[in-house]
């Protein structure tokens, strides 16, 4: 009995050592949310520019021109991936044996990154993608697929189609930071996969604040924070 | 209590009080256990408002994709996942992606915070999780029948496992500008099969009817 207990404790210790710990409240450094290409977050290709197909570049310019009214995030739809990570709002990561859970302040979105090795739910238009993850040492690697074509990648009109596929890597690099890396491919929009990197910084003592959408008398959609005025 | 759960009383989503069957509405008993007559103890003015809401059921805030509020988060006949991690107890709803991350560490309530899902603080009393909810914005309904609360609503919830596959959920609601006394509802939550996954539930711009929600669950080929 005692030996079995010791074995259990030992295997638990090994299990813990073989994974990371991403739990906590975090927020991205930098300005990836404004414009990925000017924020200096694209690490591959070395040019820092998104490798668009020529016709897709034209669409980006059109999106940029009408961004005030067309940006899905400004109209408070769920932000999509990887955009949700780079926003200037907090997120909270919870973990259990089944999954890693990311709750985003923005649009009260959440994602469940399943760890049980089951395959993607293919072909469904998830705004936040369908996430299947595993630990590689202390790095959480998430494969995200089954996207809708309804989200943008930032506030400058960078976009994707429903062929988007993202591989995310979350690595705890210090008690205060997570290195977040996303490799993005979408053969109908980009000529090659590309990669961005953002630092998530711990927000000690912070708690997520609700963000909800309300429609004004003109039919426009606005984010509303939980203040006395929103009562 | 970790896992995927679902209300075992489908009819309460339509009306928390006893009601007859109607078009697409299953008949059901009241889930109100106090007062003993199973009726919501509305003040006279509030009873008029509830009647008005009933006549305007298309104004249900959930039909506009707003978060459920409390206690309605636990009521819809759709799955929700409970996550327990250290100092946090989280409830993730499939519908409307309503979510609460509830601190269990004695943190005080936030001040001047008025949210659809309120401000929740939990603690354990033996095997029962007790959650104190304030900061509710008063825009939510309790069900599809137009039963409602206002911004003076406060809730004390109790989650107790009565078996490996059941949680007894109890909510005591006080709201002195709507109700003449606090009242209590009780709903068993049933565990869903182990591999059940929440599917994203999102709203599409301009669509204002529950029927038109982009419910991926329905599209999912099974």
Mind listing the pLDDT tens digit for each residue in B89-138? 999 999 989 999 999 999 999 999 999 999 999 999 999 999 999 999 99
In chain B, at which residue ranges do the beta strands (DSSP E only) sit?
Answer: 3-7, 32-34, 80-85, 88-93, 99-103, 119-125, 128-134, 154-163, 166-174, 183-191, 201-202, 214-215
| Average pLDDT of span A224-230 | 74
What ipTM is given for this predicted complex?
A: 0.91
Task: Decide if B115 and A23 are in contact by the 8 Å CB cutoff.
Answer: no
Q: If pLDDT is split at 50, 70 and 90, which confidence band does A206 have? A: very high
How many domains are there within chain A? 1
Task: Decide if B137 and A231 are in contact by the 8 Å CB cutoff.
Answer: yes
Distance of CA A202 to the CA centre of its chain: 16
pLDDT for position B207: 45
Residue A222 lies in a domain: yes
pLDDT for position A229: 60
pLDDT for position A101: 98
Over the stretch A76-117, which tens digit does the pLDDT of each residue have?
A: 899 999 999 999 999 999 999 999 999 999 999 999 999 999
Could you tell me the CA-to-CA distances from B5 to B77, B81, B128, B210 in Å, in that order? 10, 6, 17, 21
Residue A1 lies in a domain: no
Query: How is residue A149 annotated by DSSP?
Result: S
Residue A171 lies in a domain: yes
Cβ–Cβ under 8 Å, residues B197 and B80: no
Mean pLDDT of chain B: 91
Residue A59 lies in a domain: yes
Structure tokens at B77: 């006949």
Rounded Cα–Cα distance for residues A209 and B115 (Å): 9
Residue A5 lies in a domain: no
pLDDT for position A64: 98
Of the given ranges (A90-94, A150-154, A217-221, B144-148), which has the lowest mean pLDDT? Answer: A217-221
- Owner of token pair 């606005």: A222
Kindly list the residues from chain B whose CB atom is less than 8 angstroms away from the CB atom of residue A215.
64
Closest CA to A23 of A172, A132, A198: A172
Q: Is A161 exposed, middle or buried (0-12, 13-18, 19+ CB in 10 A)?
A: middle
Cβ–Cβ under 8 Å, residues A196 and A93: no
Question: What CATH code is carried by the domain that includes residue A34?
Answer: 2.40.128.20
Q: Which of A75, A146, A226, A229 to mutate to test the interface with B (most CBs of B within 10 A)?
A: A226
Rounded Cα–Cα distance for residues A206 and A225 (Å): 16
Over the stretch A9-50, which tens digit does the pLDDT of each residue have?
A: 444 444 444 578 999 999 999 999 999 999 999 999 999 999
DSSP three-state, residue B6: strand
B residues 17-46 closer than 8 Å to A (CB): none
Cβ–Cβ under 8 Å, residues B53 and B141: yes
Could you tell me the CA-to-CA distances from A183 to A70, A127, A165, B136, B169 in Å, in that order? 25, 18, 8, 40, 43
pLDDT for position A222: 86
For the cut 80, the answer to whether the pLDDT of residue B214 exceeds it is no
Task: Decide if B198 and A112 are in contact by the 8 Å CB cutoff.
Answer: yes
The minimum CA-CA distance between B31 and chain A, rounded to whole Å, is 28
In B111-213, at which residue ranges do the beta strands (DSSP E only) sit?
Answer: 119-125, 128-134, 154-163, 166-174, 183-191, 201-202
Q: Is A32 exposed, middle or buried (0-12, 13-18, 19+ CB in 10 A)?
A: buried
The minimum CA-CA distance between A214 and chain B, rounded to whole Å, is 9
State the alpha helices, DSSP H only, in A66-205: 67-70, 83-86
Rounded Cα–Cα distance for residues A103 and A105 (Å): 7
Q: Is B198 on the interface with A (CB under 8 A)?
A: yes
Rounded Cα–Cα distance for residues A160 and B115 (Å): 33
Angle at B65 between CA B60 and CA B68, to 5 degrees: 70
Collect all residues with Cβ–Cβ distance below 8 Å to A115 and sequence separation of at least 6: A97, A98, A99, A100, A133, A134, A135
Q: HSE-up of A107 (CA within 13 Å, CB side)?
A: 26
pLDDT for position A10: 43
Over the stretch B127-186, which tens digit does the pLDDT of each residue have?
A: 999 999 999 999 999 999 999 999 999 999 999 999 999 999 999 999 999 999 999 999
Cis bond upstream, residue B179 (ω within 30): no
Its domain, for residue A138, covers: 20-230
Task: Decide if B202 and A127 are in contact by the 8 Å CB cutoff.
Answer: yes
Cα end-to-end distance, chain B, whole Å: 28
């Amino acid at each position: 009995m005692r030996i079995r207990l010791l074995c259990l404790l030992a295997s638990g210790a090994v299990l813990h050592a073989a994974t990371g710990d991403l739990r906590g409240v975090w927020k991205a450094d930098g300005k990836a949310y404004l414009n990925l290409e000017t924020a200096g977050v694209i690490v591959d290709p070395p040019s820092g520019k998104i490798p668009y197909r020529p016709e897709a570049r034209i669409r980006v310019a059109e999106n940029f021109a009408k961004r005030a009214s067309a940006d899905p995030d400004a109209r408070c739809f769920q932000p999509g991936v990887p955009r949700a990570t780079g926003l200037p709002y907090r997120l909270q990561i919870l973990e259990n044996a089944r999954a890693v859970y990311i709750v985003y302040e923005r649009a009260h979105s959440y994602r469940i990154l399943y760890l049980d090795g089951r395959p993607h739910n293919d072909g469904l238009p998830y705004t936040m993608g369908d996430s299947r993850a595993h630990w590689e040492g202390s790095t959480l690697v998430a494969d995200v697929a089954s996207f809708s074509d309804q989200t943008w990648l930032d506030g400058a009109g960078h976009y994707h189609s429903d062929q988007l596929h993202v591989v995310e890597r979350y690595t705890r690099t210090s008690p205060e930071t997570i290195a977040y890396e996303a490799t993005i491919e979408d053969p109908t929009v980009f000529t090659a996969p590309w990669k961005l990197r953002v630092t998530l910084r711990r927000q000690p003592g912070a708690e997520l604040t609700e963000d909800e959408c309300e429609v004004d008398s003109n039919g426009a959609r606005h984010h509303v924070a939980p203040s006395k005025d929103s009562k | 209590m970790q896992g995927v759960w679902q209300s075992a009383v489908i009819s309460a989503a339509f009306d928390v009080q006893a009601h007859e069957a109607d078009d697409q509405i299953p008949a059901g008993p009241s889930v109100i256990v106090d007062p003993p007559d199973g009726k919501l103890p509305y003040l006279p003015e509030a009873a008029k408002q509830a009647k008005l809401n009933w006549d305007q059921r298309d104004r249900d805030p959930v039909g506009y994709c707003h978060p459920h509020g409390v206690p309605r988060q636990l009521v819809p006949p759709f799955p929700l996942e409970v996550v327990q991690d250290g100092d946090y107890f989280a409830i993730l709803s499939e519908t409307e992606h309503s979510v609460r991350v509830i601190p269990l560490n004695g943190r005080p309530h936030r001040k001047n915070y008025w949210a659809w899902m309120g401000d929740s603080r939990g603690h354990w009393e033996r095997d029962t999780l007790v959650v104190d909810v304030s900061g509710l914005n008063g825009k939510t309904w309790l069900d599809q029948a137009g039963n409602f609360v206002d911004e003076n609503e406060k809730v004390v919830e109790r989650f107790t496992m009565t078996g490996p596959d059941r949680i007894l959920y109890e909510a005591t609601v006080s709201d002195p500008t709507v109700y003449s006394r606090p009242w209590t509802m009780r709903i068993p939550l049933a565990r869903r099969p182990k591999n059940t996954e929440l599917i994203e539930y999102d709203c599409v711009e301009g669509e204002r009817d529950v029927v038109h929600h982009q419910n991926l669950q329905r599209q999912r080929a099974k």
